[in-house]
Amino acid sequence: MPQSSNEGFFFNRKIRVLPYLFTLALLVFLGVIGPIHIKTLIMEIMIWSIYALAFDLLFGYTGLFSYGQALYFGVGAYSFVFSLRHLSMNFIICLFAASFLTSVLAALLGLLIIKTKGAYFVILTIIFNVIFYLLAMDLTWLTGGEDGISIEIPPITIGKLCLSLNNPTTSYFFYLFFSLATLVFLKRIVDSPVGRVLFSIKVNEERAEYIGYNIYAYKMFSYVMSGFFCGLSGALYTSWARYASASYFSIIISGEPIVWSLIGGPGTLIGPVIGTAIIIVLLDYLSFYWKYYLILIGTLMLVVLRFSPRGIVGFLKERIEVKLDDCRGPP
Residue placing its CB nearer to other proteins in the complex, 7 or 138:
138
Instruction: Compute the least distance from the CB of residue 70 to other proteins, in Å.
Output: 13
How do strand 156-158 and strand 161-163 relate by DSSP bridges?
antiparallel
Provide the 10 A C-beta neighbour count for residue 113.
21
Residue placing its CB nearer to other proteins in the complex, 10 or 293:
293
Residue placing its CB nearer to other proteins in the complex, 251 or 324:
251
Upper half-sphere CA count for residue 102 (Cβ side, 13 Å): 35
Burial code of 144-179, b = ≥16 C-beta within 10 A, e = fewer? bbeebbebebeeeeeeeeebebeeeebbbbbbbebb
- In 3D, which of 277, 281, 283 has the Cα closest to residue 296? 283
Please name the residues in contact with 59: beta carbons below 8 A apart, sequence gap of 6 or more: 65, 66, 258, 261, 266, 267
Instruction: Tell me which residues touch other proteins (CB under 8 A).
Output: 59, 63, 65, 67, 112, 115-120, 122-124, 126-128, 130-131, 134-135, 137-138, 251, 255, 258-259, 262, 291-295, 297-299, 301-302, 305-306, 309
Residues 272 and 53: beta-carbon distance below 8 Å: yes
Instruction: Compute the least distance from the CB of residue 62 to other proteins, in Å.
Output: 12
Residues 276 and 48: beta-carbon distance below 8 Å: yes
Q: Is 162 helix (H, G, I), strand (E, B) or coil?
A: strand
Residue placing its CB nearer to other proteins in the complex, 26 or 305:
305
Burial-class residue 18 by CB neighbours within 10 Å (0-12, 13-18, 19+). Answer: exposed
Instruction: Compute the least distance from the CB of residue 115 to other proteins, in Å.
Output: 7
Residue placing its CB nearer to other proteins in the complex, 192 or 287:
287
Instruction: Compute the least distance from the CB of residue 107 to other proteins, in Å.
Output: 16
Instruction: Compute the least distance from the CB of residue 57 to other proteins, in Å.
Output: 15
Residue placing its CB nearer to other proteins in the complex, 81 or 258:
258
Instruction: Compute the least distance from the CB of residue 123 to other proteins, in Å.
Output: 5
